[in-house]
Chains A and B, each alone.
Chain A
Amino acid sequence: MEEKTRVDDIDRSMYDIRNEDRDAYRLGAGLTPELVEQLSREKGDPDWMREFRLKSLEIYNQLPVPDWGPSIEGLDMDKIVTYVRPNTKMQGEWSEVPQDIKSTFDALGIPEAERKYLAGVGAQYDSELVYHNLRKEVAEQGVVYLDFESSLRSEYADMVREHFMTLVPPTDHKFAALHGAVWSGGSFVYVPKNVEVEIPLQSYFRLNAKGAGQFEHTLIIVDEGAKLHFIEGCSAPRYNVANLHAGCVELFVRKGASLRYSTIENWSRNMYNLNTKRATVAEGGTMEWVSGSFGSHVSYLYPMTILRGEKSRMEFTGITFAGHDQNLDTGAKVVHSAPNTSSYINTKSISKGGGVSTFRSAVVVGANAKGSRSAVSCQSLMLDDISRSDTIPAIDVRTPDADVGHEAQIGRISDESVFYLMSRGISEEEARAMIVSGFADNVSKELPMEYAIEMNNLIRMEMKGSIG
């Protein structure tokens, strides 16, 4: 009975494992040019990158904190330790990863996931890669998968420099500037022309140290006619000190190429997730996003796609689950800037226990995007009377020759449906979980099996104790 009436005490132990701070090295809290230089020196940045960081810091200091979304007043940048490096060198073999770090990943199921489904794992422990492995067959195809620091010293250094923060410039917003100044860790992926990577590549990000921010950078270039599925999974332990995630994802989809980028984010409930993701798609290219947002205290997340080439297309499938003390502002943006492009945005949001879920979308169809099509569909489910769900769609169409549609639905779980399932012997809690899982089904269908199961478990975990 107790379990039924308590909403807050969800067992998150699986996600809340935390090791003793074993960090060899920590930068002082607060952000100064000296600190950024020190970080740059420690990382062995090339000169251009050091300058980029300092320039970004200047921009950061000039830009205002965004005031149009959920409050981020709880975030105190002076207290965020920007860089925490685990006490281990990069590993290529699972067996060489230190035991305590390993058991954390074991608990999160990563090695097993890797064995079964994944081509490679770049698992980020705090801000640096501790484990990086790309299966042979993928490497043999010429696919490059490097941790971001290494990419700057690799033969792809010029390519990285040419693309780095060009899609998301530091001037974009305050946290993009912050990212430019203190980014650390992340992945670089290059898929050569006409190479189809059959199995998904995966990276698993995780924060550990108290008060540590995470600013990983992901840069993916899928060359002409190539194909890739990249999975980014996030999970973090829970602390009382405000945590910040200001990662940046830049995706380049070349002519005729296709990229699917899947994410399940389950940040701890004190996290400010201010992440920026953007893709540009060339002629005939395809960009697919699958995005699940479950964790964090506050999220600002609107992956953006720029359809730059004729007949390029994008599809965004997303789900957001906002529970007690969560304000998740999520959605998607698309810019049609070539003829005959198409976009489809399909999102679901669930709010419960006073959680706030806001769906924000922007569809821009330029004057040159004749014959383009866009459809936005968003459905919200509120599980009680104290939760909140908002939809804020923006549509800007500059050509008469475009087909743009939007539909939104906000609903509740009907008592009749719950009774129907219960009349077959299913408990009320299970019945509600089944209905919510069903609501999320079109998203789970898009995920690899392993992740679909994880997502369903998350929903069940969230639904547990929702009756009271």
Chain B
Amino acid sequence: MSEALLDIRNLHVRVEDKEILHGVSLQIGPGETHVLMGPNGAGKSTLGYALMGHPRYIVTEGEIWFKGERIDTESPDKRAKAGLFLSFQAPLEVPGLTVSAFIRTAMEQRGEHLRIAQYNRQLREAMDLLQIDPSYARRDLNVGFSGGEKKKAEILQLHMLKPSMAILDETDSGLDVDAVRTVSAGVAAFQKDQERSLLIITHSTRILESLHVDHTHVLVEGRIAAEGGADLVDAINASGFEAYEKKSV
């Protein structure tokens, strides 16, 4: 247990007056890929936000440990600097801030100072991999981007920032088949690095087809209802969440 990169212990999370997570425990080791599945409203995104430190998602009980440090009281930027990353389900638009300037600032905040030419080259390579038109580097962050373009921009940030632990919240939702393939290839490239861990939040399985999965967790009504290996994904694919919904009551 002490080897876990991310160690979530009995996490209870409240949004406004409502408790959404009722004691979630989960451990992710270095280099592992975990999948978090569950029906709509189960609290999957809540877990992602709570891990990243969204101020509206209040931890009322339990602890979050990352790299041996307790982080559940840290601000989101400190968690990010420690190596945590959240790919947003609905990335926000920031007018007047270009994709390129944003990523560069974020890298600098992490103490990475690249020369501009070197940075541009890295950015260009990552954009090529994700099949993002190079002109998007100079566009305002997510402004006027389609749903798919926003998701690609998230994975672009993932590639540039190279966090040790990435949480992908519904990265495949709203994407067409080609876009899923591109995003999935992008995630696979990130996964290749043995040290990097992933928590993939999804209610479908399309993004998982080309990815290696170590563990699967099923979240139902704010509790982990089932856990297993990669084969659990297939089982859910075949029969849905119904069986677990009953079990968790």
Contact = CB atoms under 8 A, between A and B. Distances in A.
A414 B77 contact: no
A425 interface: yes
Interface in B186-212: none
Contact of B94 (A421, A423, A425): A421
Contacts of B55: 415, 419
Interface in A392-429: 414-417, 419-428
Contacts of B106: 424-426
A434 B97 contact: yes
Interface stretch (A28-36, A60-68, A361-369, A437-445): A437-445
B52 A416 contact: no
Interface stretch (B1-9, B38-46, B83-91): B83-91
B171 to A, nearest CB: 15
A58 interface: no
Interface in A279-311: none
Interface in A420-461: 420-428, 430-431, 434-435, 437-442
Contacts of A416: 92
Contacts of B76: 419, 422-423
A423 B85 contact: yes
A416 B45 CA distance: 14
Given A422-B77, A424-B80, A424-B161, A441 B96 contact: yes
Contact of A438 (B54, B86, B97): B97
Contacts of A415: 55-56
A467 B205 CA distance: 42
B81 A425 contact: yes
Given A423-B80, A423-B85, A425-B161, A434 B105 contact: yes
Contacts of A441: 95-97
Contact of B80 (A425, A438, A442): A425
A349 to B, nearest CB: 15
Contacts of A442: 96
A111 B109 CA distance: 33
Interface in B114-132: none
B184 interface: no
Contacts of A414: 92
Contacts of A438: 94-97, 140
Contacts of B216: none
A435 B75 contact: no
Contact of B77 (A428, A434, A437): A428
Contact of B105 (A423, A426, A428, A439): A426
Nearest to B49: A419
Interface in B5-24: none
B33 interface: no
A410 to B, nearest CB: 15
B95 A419 contact: no
B109 A425 contact: yes
B48 to A, nearest CB: 10
A439 B54 CA distance: 23
Nearest to B161: A424
Nearest to B56: A415
Nearest to A436: B96
A437 B141 CA distance: 13
Contacts of B91: 420
Nearest to B83: A425
Contacts of B181: none
Contacts of B67: none
Nearest to B86: A423
Contacts of A430: 105, 109
A435 B77 contact: no
B157 interface: yes
B92 A420 contact: yes
A419 B54 contact: yes
Interface string B131-173: 0000000001000000000000000010001000000000000
Given A417-B92, A438-B94, A423 B140 contact: no
A464 to B, nearest CB: 16
Contacts of A435: 94, 97
B157 A424 contact: yes
B215 interface: no
B237 to A, nearest CB: 30
Nearest to A420: B92
B83 to A, nearest CB: 10
Interface in A167-205: none
A414 B54 CA distance: 13
B110 to A, nearest CB: 5
A70 B190 CA distance: 57
Contacts of A425: 77, 80-81, 106, 109-110, 161
A70 to B, nearest CB: 28
Nearest to B103: A424
B96 A439 contact: yes
A318 to B, nearest CB: 16
A257 to B, nearest CB: 32
Nearest to A440: B96
Contact of B52 (A421, A423, A427, A440): A423
A261 B168 CA distance: 49
A17 to B, nearest CB: 31
15 contacts: A419-B52, A422-B80, A423-B52, A423-B85, A423-B88, A424-B106, A425-B161, A426-B109, A427-B109, A428-B75, A434-B105, A435-B97, A438-B94, A439-B96, A442-B96
Interface of B: 52-56, 75-77, 79-81, 85-86, 88, 91-92, 94-97, 102, 105-106, 109-110, 140, 157, 161
Given A414-B92, A423-B79, 15 more contacts: A417-B94, A420-B94, A422-B75, A423-B77, A424-B109, A425-B77, A426-B105, A427-B109, A431-B77, A434-B94, A434-B105, A435-B97, A438-B97, A439-B96, A441-B97
Interface of A: 414-417, 419-428, 430-431, 434-435, 437-442
What 9 A-B pairs come out closest when comparing CB atoms?
A: A438-B96, A441-B96, A425-B80, A422-B76, A424-B106, A438-B97, A425-B109, A420-B92, A422-B77
